[in-house]
């Protein structure tokens, strides 16, 4: 990539993201909604690539696009009694819409009103996967959070298994 972010690429990917999000929200079929989410994850992975964050993009794809999406689809399938139940009404809430709109508007206004210095310039130095790996596993880096993260995952795994177990225990 050039030391500047391509506007066109950004525009396409951003449109894909927002469109996917909207599609997810307005989809009446839950399975369709899950697929729209999958599309959003892929589009955001594309945005990560645009920002020279290769590792994060791959992780995003692996975790979200593959695991999470498949999880979602499987749960949907398990919790459906009939195929017809997948289609549901659109669940519109005026309160939620109002609140979200206000929230969005204020965020955008803030972003507009307080421009940050390094807004246009794309720094020359780009993140490097090797450097990232080194930092990740170094003691003064992120090794402790790394271990804790794996602990979290283990706990979540155990928890999920326990919760979804059959029987009275």
Partner 1 sequence: MRVGVEPFLMLAAVLFSLGLYGALSKKATVQLLMSLELMSIAVNINLVALSRFVTPQTMEGLFFAIFTMVVSAAEIGLGLGLVLAIYRQARTSEVTNLTELKG
Partner 2 sequence: MDWLVAIPALPVVAFVALVFMPRAVRNKALWLPVGAISISTVLSIVAFFQMHPAEEGVTEALWNRSWALATINGKAFELGLQYDAIAAILLVVVTVVATCVQVYSLGYMHRDEREGWYFAVLSLFTAAMLALVLADNLLLLFVAWELMGLCSYLLIGFWYELEAPRKASQKAFLTTRVGDMGLMFALVVIFQQCGTWELAEVLGSVHTWTPPVAMAAAIGLLFGAMGKSAQVPLHVWLPDAMAGPTPASALIHAATMVAAGVYLLTRMLPVLEAAPPVLFATLVIGAITGLVGGLLAAVQHDVKKVLAYSTISQLGLMFMAIGSASVVATLFHLVTHAFFKSLLFLGAGVIIHSARTQDMREMGGLRKHMPVTWATFAIGSLALAGVIPFSGFFSKDEIIASLMHAHQTWAVGVVLAVSMLTAFYMTRLYFRVFEGPEQTEGIHDGHKSMLFPMVVLAAITCVIGFASPSFAGFLGEHGEWPSVQLIALSTTVAALGIGTGWWFYGRPWIVVNTAVYKERSAWLYNALKQKLYFDIAYDAIFIKPFMRVADFLWGFDSRVVDGAVNGTARGFVLFASASQLFDKNVIDGIVNGIASLSKNVGSGLRSLQTGRIQSYQRFILAAVVLLMLFLVVKGA
Restricting to residues 27-86, name those near partner 1 by CB under 8 A: 30, 33-34, 37, 40-41, 44, 47-48, 51-53, 55-56, 59-60, 63-64, 67-68, 71-72, 75-76, 78-79, 81
Q: Does 143 bind partner 1 (CB under 8 A)?
A: no
Count of CB atoms within 10 A of residue 60's CB?
Answer: 20
34 neighbors 50 (Cβ within 8 angstroms): no
42 binds, among partner 2, partner 1, none (CB under 5 to 8 A by kind): none
From the list partner 2, partner 1, none, pick the one residue 123 interacts with, judged by a Cβ distance below 5 to 8 Å according to partner type: partner 1
Q: Could you say which of partner 2, partner 1, none residue 109 binds, taking C-beta under 5 to 8 angstroms by partner kind?
A: partner 2
Residue choice 82, 92, 130, 140 for contact with partner 1 (CB under 8 A): 92
Question: Rounded to an integer, what distance in angstroms lies between the CA atom of residue 164 and that of residue 5?
Answer: 45
- Binding residues for partner 2, per CB under 8 A? 93, 95-96, 99-100, 102-103, 106-107, 109-110, 113-114
Torsion angle, CA of 134/137/141/143, rounded to 10 degrees?
170
d(CA 162, CA 147): 23
CA distance 99 to 159: 34
Write the DSSP symbol of residue 123.
Answer: P
């Amino acid at each position: 990539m050039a030391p500047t972010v391509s506007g066109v690429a950004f525009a396409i990917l951003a449109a894909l993201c927002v469109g996917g999000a909207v599609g997810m929200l307005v989809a009446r079929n839950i399975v369709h909604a899950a697929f729209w989410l999958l599309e959003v994850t892929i589009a955001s992975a594309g945005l990560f690539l645009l920002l020279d964050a290769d590792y994060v993009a791959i992780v995003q794809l692996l975790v979200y696009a593959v695991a999470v999406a498949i999880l979602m689809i499987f749960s949907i399938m398990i919790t459906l009694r009939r195929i017809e139940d997948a289609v549901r009404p659109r669940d519109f809430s005026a309160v939620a819409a109002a609140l979200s709109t206000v929230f969005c508007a204020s965020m955008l206004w803030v972003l507009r009103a307080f421009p940050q210095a390094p807004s246009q310039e794309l720094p020359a130095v780009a993140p490097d996967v090797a450097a990232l790996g080194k930092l990740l596993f170094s003691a003064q880096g992120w090794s402790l959070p790394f271990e804790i993260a794996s602990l979290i995952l283990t706990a979540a795994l155990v928890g999920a298994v326990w919760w979804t177990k059959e029987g009275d225990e």
